[in-house]
Amino acid sequence: MVRNKSTVAWAATLGLLASSPAWAEDDQPAAVQDIVSDEAGGTVQDVQDVAEAQHDEAGEAFPVSGSLALTYRFNHANLVDNETGDANFGYQFMWLDAGVGYDITKSIGVSASFTVEKELSDSFDRAPTFGGSSTRTVRQTQLRDVSLGASWSKFATIPVVDISFSAGLGFDFPTSKASQSAGTLLITYPSISAAWSWNDLSLSAAFVYLYYLNENPTVEIDCEVAPQNCEVSGQDTGNPNALHTLLLQTGISYAIIDDLSVSMSYLLTNSYGAVEFADDEFTSEFAQTGQQAGVGSHGTDFRISYSLFEKTRLTAAMATRRSLFTNDGKDRTQPFYDSDSNLHHRTYYYFSLSQSI
């Protein structure tokens, strides 16, 4: 792939924010869950490794590039038996990702990407979270948010230690039904990353700031579409949309041989609401007041990637995403595996086949 590695990393990894910024599981906006859950099929370090190798191979022959990726993902709950005899309490998804990039200069590029999502099965606990019924009704195939991005790779380098810095700017447009239903108008996210490599070992760190432009500070229901929900909560649910999100990710990768590499990454994120609730004489002593903030979430990815052909790569991964604290708020959680829940549903697996053009 000809486009520079920063373009690919930030457009493909951070650009596929494909659901609304309403507060979701573990008190983070659903848009951020798409980043931290790797529903696009890769993380910052993984995409950078792929893009760098492809860029080195292609050289500067042609400034336009394209990519396709097919990803299948399921969580650990699919593998757990239960008393009812139904072993599939988890979710299963497939994504088709497509992207195009253009190198303006050797280090500056722009890109566009989109994703088509197909849900294969859904669990009981996820359906209400996404506004569906309490049964395992599979959602229809849908287009997720369309992303545009720009990047500036290696805009600065620390000479002695050879640490390079890159920057990016992305925009997500609410083409998905989830974003439209939450009243999302635009999501923008500047980012900065640092990378260092020695022989076959690479280290990276990335910081992303996301800002959400919302139609309303709280989630509102379309009463014409869902009148039964309006009877319960009214049009305005009072549930705050996200306004800001901070995200930090670090990664390490090692090339075992030319076509085979392994990598690990750790991610930490937290979100803040778009509304502040008043504290006056009418406020209950049990009410939440002021600006709303999530409790934070974190997780890890373990990946192995193999180049089947010159521009074709297969990736297999295990990842975990969970709240920073246990349900009672007393203890920190470990980010490597969901050992707390009976279904271990916060740990998931994915397989991705990508092709660059």
Share of the chain above pLDDT 90, in %: 44
Whether the pLDDT of residue 52 is over 80: the answer is no
Compute the average pLDDT of residues 33-52. Answer: 40
Please, what are the domains in the chain? 5-356 (2.40.160.40)
pTM of the model: 0.79
| Alpha carbon distance 224, 233 (integer Å) | 14
Buried b (16+ CB within 10 A) or exposed e, 46-80: bbbbbbbbbbeebeeeeeebebebebbbbbbbbeb
Cβ–Cβ under 8 Å, residues 7 and 153: yes
Residue 25 confidence class, pLDDT cut points 50, 70, 90:
very low
Q: Spell out the residues 6+ positions from residue 14 whose beta carbon is closer than 8 angstroms to its own.
A: 35, 44, 149, 168, 170, 189, 191, 208
Q: Pick the more confident residue, 181 or 312.
A: 312
pLDDT, tens digit, for every residue of 314-323?
Answer: 999 999 999 9
Query: What is the arithmetic mean of pLDDT over 143-149?
Result: 93
Partners of 255 in the beta sheet?
A: 261
Q: Which two tokens stand for residue 233?
A: 């909560």
- Rounded Cα distance, 33 and 322, in Å: 10
The string over 132-145, giving b where at least 16 C-beta atoms fall within 10 Å of a residue's C-beta and e elsewhere, is: eeeebeebeeeebb
| Predicted local distance difference test score (pLDDT) of residue 60 | 53
Query: Which residues does residue 146 pair with via DSSP β-bridges, in sequence order?
Result: 173
Least confident segment among 5-19, 116-130, 180-194, 212-226: 5-19
165 to each of 43, 145, 195, 229, 247, how far by Cα in Å?
A: 17, 28, 7, 48, 17
Query: pLDDT-based confidence at 248, cuts 50/70/90?
Result: very high
Average pLDDT across the chain, whole number: 78
- With cut-offs at 50, 70 and 90, classify the pLDDT of residue 226: low
Nearest to 355, CA basis, from 28, 4, 9, 69: 69
What is the pLDDT at residue 9?
37
34 beta partners: none
**Cα–Cα separations (whole angstroms), residue 28 to 243, 282, 288:** 11, 28, 17
Q: Which of 21-25, 105-109, 234-238 has the lowest average pLDDT?
A: 21-25
Mean per-residue pLDDT, 90-106: 92
**Given this model, what pLDDT does residue 266 score?**
97
Of 337 and 295, the structure prediction assigns the larger pLDDT to: 337
Q: How confident is the model at residue 263 (pLDDT cuts 50, 70, 90)?
A: very high
- 85 vs 332, more confident: 332
pLDDT at position 180 over 90: no
Q: Can you tell me the distance from the alpha carbon of 98 to that of 100, in angstroms, rounded to the nearest whole number?
A: 7
- Residue 264's pLDDT band, with cuts at 50, 70 and 90, is very high
- 312 or 85: which leads in pLDDT: 312
Q: What is the pLDDT of residue 168?
A: 96
